[in-house]
Amino acid sequence: MPQLTHKTLIVVAGPTAVGKTAVAIELAKHFNTVVVSADSRQFFREMAIGTAKPNAAELAEVKHYFIDSHSIAQPFSVGDFEKQGLALLDELFKTHDHVILAGGSGLYIKAICEGFDDLPTADPSIREKLNKELEEKGIESLQQKLKLADPVYYEEVDLGNPQRIIRALEVFESSGKPISSYRQATVNKRSFNIIKLALNLPREVLYNRINERVNIMVQQGLLAEVSALLPYRHLNALNTVGYTELFDYFDGKTSLDKAIEMIKQNTRRFAKRQLTWFRKDSSFHWFQANEPDLLDQMISTVEKQAV
């Protein structure tokens, strides 16, 4: 294998349940390096089963960062992830030529690869007004507002996350410009080379894997995990597929079977939004995750790009 001269961040992205964890571990073993997680929920120690974290055996194979690194009680924004992630990469590149960044959270991958422009500071009264609207009219009202104000961001954002929607509306109401226009501005230059790899599967195969994964989570004790988190349900970290549906079950708003069906449906929708996000970035190299020579294809792409 030719020696690669540049410090290179290898991004492994794609929709949920496509197989990113296993591929990232194999790439890390090949390049004798570590994996940095870019999954916006796997940071949190208290959320294990519902976030499909790497299991103990997988974590033992290669060193992982940003898995169980924070508590749901600690505020941890994408901006915090950018600062802490770049500081970590500075350290890792002292001893590694390559580092793997793996995850399905497009915004968090963007934070490391490009960064963000400084968003305007909004008057606190705007957030107060939007929070009141959320309380009185529900999230659907804010979703519709966002659709009109910023259709681009509406297609990409996690629509089940009220904090993200409120932040976008705050930016729009205080500046008159959509949040997506800030995110499309100048890319911050990084001191390392970036090669972006993305995995996909035929839709039916991916959706079957999502459904099966939800069944396994339930068998592993997802209900007990969510039940233990009921006192913390107001925290932003728990506005997440797999948790909100079961909160409704515990509130008596729905049956268990219906809640599980909604987790599957909402996860499939989430996967669709992830694919929309990654497809908009033309620098990704796409691979079918069920190809028998997948790893060889990915390694070959990295080596060609890095020469």
Same domain, 91 and 79: yes
279 within some domain: yes
pLDDT tens over the chain, length 307 residues: 444 447 999 999 999 999 999 999 999 999 999 999 999 999 999 999 999 999 999 999 999 999 999 999 988 888 899 999 999 999 999 999 999 999 999 999 999 999 876 677 777 788 889 988 998 999 999 999 999 999 988 988 888 888 889 989 988 988 888 888 876 555 668 999 999 999 999 999 999 999 999 999 999 999 999 999 999 998 988 989 999 999 999 999 999 999 999 999 999 999 999 999 999 999 999 999 999 999 999 999 999 987 6
Q: Which residues span the domain enclosing 168?
A: 124-183
Cα-to-chain-centroid distance, residue 196: 15
Q: Show the tokens assigned to 240.
A: 């997440």
Clarify whether residues 91 and 211 are in a common domain.
yes
Specify the number of domains making up the chain: 2
CATH number at residue 173: 1.10.20.140
The SS3 of residue 173 is helix
Residues 174 and 261 in one domain: no
Same domain, 79 and 197: yes
The last residue of one of the domains, among 142, 163, 183, is: 183
Please tell me whether residues 170 and 298 are part of one structural domain. Answer: no
Residue 2 belongs to some domain of the structure: no
For the beta carbon of residue 41, count every other beta carbon within 10 angstroms: 21
Type of residue found at 173: E
In degrees and rounded to multiples of 5, residue 102 shows phi and psi of -125, 135
